[in-house]
Amino acid sequence: MSKVSIGLRGWRFDEDAVFTDEGELRPLEEMPLDAKKRLVRLQDIVDAPCDACWLEHGEENPEEYNPSEVVYGEPLSEVLLCGDHENDLVYWFREDGGSQYAETDEFDDAFHEWFLDGGRAPEGYDGVEHVATEPDELPDPPTVDDDQRKEEWAVTEKTDMRDLDQEYPGANE
C-alpha cells in the first residue's frame, strides 16, 4: 500500500484508505477516522498562508505571506509552511527539541514560540527531499457541508480575541 499527500505535502494517506479502485476519493463514511479528520481539516487550511511568513510580517502585511505548501502536526495543532520555511520546522523538530511536541496539542504553539524567539535552520541545512509524482492527477476532495462538519466534528465558531472587552489583572499598569 503506497502513501500519498493530498493538497499539501506532509500529511500522508494510505492510498487504499482514501481512493477507490477507480482512483476516485472514497466517501468520507468509508474512510478510517484519522484520514477523515485530516481530509476535512485540509479543506479549511489548504489555501492558508505560511505560519512563519505570518509571524515574520504580521497581520498588517498579508501581501508578504507565501502560500502554504506543507503541513506538519496534528489536525487543529498543525503548522503550515511555505517551501522557504519548511527547513526551519524540520531543524527545530530534529535538532532543537521540537520532537518532544510530536502528536501533542502544543506542537504549533511550541514551534511558533521557537520561531518568534529567532529560531531558524542554519544556512545550508538539508531538510526533507520531496518527490512529487503526478500532483495534478489527484481528484478533488469530497465536499462536506457546514452542517455535516459541525455535527460530526464539533466545529466551533472562531472568536476574535482582540474584540473581547474584558479587563485583566495588570492590564492598566
C-alpha distances in Å from residue 96, one per residue of 7, 10, 32, 137, 159 = 28, 20, 33, 37, 33
Q: How confident is the model at residue 95 (pLDDT cuts 50, 70, 90)?
A: very high
Contact 13, 35 (CB under 8 A): yes
| Residue 144 confidence (pLDDT) | 60
Q: Which residues of 119-158 are buried (b: 16+ CB within 10 A; e: fewer)?
A: bebeeeeeeeeeeeeeeeeeeebbebeeeeeeeeeeeeee
| Residue 23 confidence (pLDDT) | 86
Q: Of the given ranges (5-14, 108-117, 131-140), which has the lowest mean pLDDT? A: 131-140
Instruction: Tell me the C-alpha distance between 50 and 27, whole Å.
Output: 29
Q: Which residue type is seen at 95?
A: E
Is the torsion defined by CA of 147, 151, 73, 106 positive or negative? positive
| End-to-end Cα, the chain, rounded Å | 60
What does the mean pLDDT of the chain come to?
Answer: 82
Contacts of 144 (CB under 8 A, 6+ apart): 28, 40, 43
Which one, of 108, 47, 33, 32, lies nearest residue 76 by Cα?
108
pLDDT in tens, 14-57: 999 999 989 888 999 999 999 999 999 999 999 999 999 999 99
What values do phi and psi take at 107, rounded to 5?
-50, -55
Instruction: Tell me the C-alpha distance between 78 and 20, whole Å.
Output: 27
In this prediction, residues 79-107 reach a mean pLDDT of: 95
134 pLDDT more than 80: no
Which one, of 112, 131, 111, 139, lies nearest residue 39 by Cα?
139
In this prediction, residues 115-137 reach a mean pLDDT of: 77
Report the percent of the chain where pLDDT is more than 90: 60
135 pLDDT more than 60: no
| DSSP symbols for 105-143 | TTHHHHHHHHHHTT--PPTT----------GGGSPPPPP
| Residue 147 confidence (pLDDT) | 66
